[in-house]
Every structure is written in structure tokens, then in C-alpha cells.
Structure 1
Amino acid sequence: MTSVLRFAMTNAWTYRRADRDDIVELASWRGAGSLGLRPHFHDEHQLVLVLSGSRSFRIDGETITVPAGHAALIPAGMLHAPMPTPDEETVCLNAYVPASRACSSLRVVSFRARWQRVDEISPERILEIAGDILSRAPSPSTGRTGRSKLGAALTESLAPIGAVAASLGRSREGFSRMVRRELGVAPHAFRLLARLNLARQLQRAGEPIAAVAADAGFSDQSHLTRLFRRTFGTTPGVYWRD
């Protein structure tokens, strides 16, 4: 029997678990327009399904718009900034799926369905759309692989930025320029975004917010909450509340 998704539809992002291993989490939005948020990335592929209105993202200096009736897949690790959209009603479902299949570029496709509500969309249909987009995606380029290694160098070490730069045979200034060019943000900003993604993982695992803040390297819970809201459009307390 095909299952459906249940959401409380409010003028804010509402996150829910999918209770499946092949969908990490789901988020729904229904309201006037949609939020503009800070540039960020995810550790998972993000599938954006727009039922009405539109969503727009700033990616690599370009504005990408996803109109109603279309889906976009934003690859794991791709820096993107959701942009505010006009005040027409927007209904959107985000599905975050494991990055088990490599993808290096954003793609927008029509999903050829006339859903009115996100709870009409089954997990099976979400995975079918994601799989279809991923099957059309080109293999990751050498440049994308290099960017992944650069990101790993920044996040897998707690050493100061200067020390990471030195380990790669670069000056701090030269390393910072390379990171900005390849990853789109300064080294410190990239590390901060990685810590925010870690905070999401820890919350999904059931850690209390205060423990999440400490374990993810934030000075306190209010520091995490402020940055989390600016980046993901909701607070940690609302994000993973059952």
C-alpha cells in the first residue's frame, strides 16, 4: 500500500522524518512567497518539488527559478542561496535523500502531476523523481571531485585555517582565495556551514539542543539558534520537534 506524508501546513518550514532509510527528512512550505536564506549546502541531495508559486535559488552567480509543476535536484555539497519570491501562494516540498549516487550539477524537470497538497505525494513518487533526475545527471567532473577534497580538508581537521593551508603547501591568503573560488565562501564560513549540518544530524539522532550546540562547536544554544534560523529558515527547537 502506498503511504502518504502528513504535514501541518503553515507559513513556515515544517520538517518531518520520513521513517525510511532512503529519505533522510522532509520539509514543507505553504505561504505567501518563500523565504530568502543565507547561502548553505547539505550533506544530502535536496529534491525541491514546487506545487504552486515558484522557488528561486542563487547558485554559482546565477539565479535558477523552479516554477510550479517542476522539480529541481540540488546536489549534496552544492552552495545555494534560496531567494525570496513574490507574494503569490507557494506550496513546496523538500526531500533530502542520501547522496549514494554522485551528481555534479543542478537539474530542473517537469514532474507532470497536478498535486494540490504535499500530503498527496508518496515517498515512492519522491524517490522515483529523484532517481529519474540522477539517472540523467552527468558524471562528476574532476573539478567537483577537487572541491569535495578541499571541503574534506577543512572539515576533517580541527587545526587552524593557517595550518590546513600549510599542510597543502599554501599560504593562508592563497588558500583562502582558492577556497572562495572553488567553494564559494571563505574557509571559516565553510566550516560554519559544515557545523550547522552536523547540528541537523545530531538533532535527528535525538540529542537535546544544548548538547547539539556544544557538540557541533557553537558557543551556546542561542548562538546555534540564531545561525540555524538564518540559514535553514526555522529554529532548532522547531526543526526536529515530533
Structure 2
Amino acid sequence: MKKTASDWVLRAAPTEGIERIEAWFGGKAYGMHRHDTYAIGRTLAGVQSFNYRRGLRHSVPGQTMVLHPDELHDGQAGTGDGFRYRMLYVDPALIQAILGGRALPFVEGGVTTDLRVSRATEALLQRTEKAQQPFEPLEQHDALTELALALAQAAGAPTVSDSGDYTSAARAHAYLRANCDRIITLDELERVTGRDRFGLSRDFRKFYGTSPYRYLTMRRLDLARRLMLTGAPLADIAAHAGFADQSHMTRQFTRAFGIPPARWRTIASGVASR
């Protein structure tokens, strides 16, 4: 999909209710149009300008664009240097299912510096290129839940108290621990717990202080650390602990503990041998 010799658009493999793109445009990108989805993204370089709700908006690196469904907008470079961006298109039904009947969040102005929205958006925009490892079902659901909650907070939506279903959350907790070394689907978790995925995600956060995918990842990392102390190759450990590959394990390990696996093993083995 090219506009000029230099403009380009990359599209990630779509998943249910979500599309992702990364693009660069040197000037005019799009005329006035609208989506029936949320359009949420980050400008990576340059100035991204667009008309939205009777005003001209500008997005620069460090900000997040949040365009509400069915709102007219266009897109063009704000300077002669062009702009590069990543955008996420989310079916509002997914956001609604997570929020459980609350009004869809509306973020005024179309551009925000809200840190929680930024982090949630960044998590879902990590993998734009088709060749990159796709999201696990729980991983994407976790990131989408965080995005919905972040949007609601940024929009000033009132918090709704919910007593939650502890029994279902406890079943999920035990099941994730017992099966951390493989991919677990959302349908599978619903069958095990008897709770729908959106309610279960809210309950798990309420009773265990973290998301189901985050809990699953940490149990995988616990297993990986135990295996590292045996001296097994890191690639074999990654496969055995349920990670897609060694680089996937390294990213998650470094994010969780602040140092890469090889460095951790060197330090831990040295301490253990004293």
C-alpha cells in the first residue's frame, strides 16, 4: 500500500478484533475518514498532524493518539521531514466486554500524555512486523485489559466496585501454576474456571494483585531459573519453560529481574558455589 515512492505501510497479521500497522509518510497520508474502531497509536518520529473534532491536533514522540470510534479525522506530516508511527485498531466491543457495561472511554483532544495509556499502548504495539513472534492468547488479553482500564482512567470514568468471584480466580491461579510450561488459551481457562475471560481477568487482578499472563510469565521464569542452575543450555531451558525461544525468555527475564539470564546464572552459580 504505497502513496509515493517513499511512503510505506507494514501490517501485522491481524488477530480477532485487533489490527496493527507501522507506517511512514512524507506529506499527506489520508483524507477525512472514520473507523468503527478505536484508533490508538504512537508517533515514532516527526510530527503527525490530523484534523479531529473541529481542531487541528499534533502528535510527537512520547505522546499517544486516542481516536474514538466513528470520529472523522485525516492525517499528514506536520513538518517537511515526514512522520513515522504505529497504530492499533481495536474493536470497541472488546473494550466494552472488559469494562462490563460502562460507557466507552472518550479521551478528550485525541492526544494524551497519560503514562498508563502510553505503557498499555506500547505493549500492544511491540510486534508490528509479520515475521515477529505473535502474542500468546493470554498475553494479548492481558495487554488489552490494561489498555481498556487505562483508557477508562484517562477519561475520568468512575470506578465500579465489584466483589469478584474468588473461587474462579483461585482455580485459574492453581491451573496456571500447574501448566506454566505451555501456552494456555482463553477458551481453556474459561472451561477450567467456569468464568468468562473478562470477569476472570478482573477477579484475578483483584485477588492476586497481577494479571493472569503476568502470573504465568513469572512462574515460567521461576522454572527457568531453577533449570539455569543445572547448567542446561539457555535455548533448551527456554523451550522447556514454555517460552517461544531464547530471545523471548531473555526479554521477559530482563524485564522481570533487571539483568539477562546469562548474567544471572553467572552470579547465582558463583554465590551457590561459595
TM-score, normalising length: structure 1: 0.42
Larger Rg belongs to: 2
Q: Does 1 or 2 have the higher relative contact order (CA < 8 Å, sep 6+)?
A: 1
TM-score (norm 2): 0.38
Q: Which structure carries more helix by proportion? A: 2
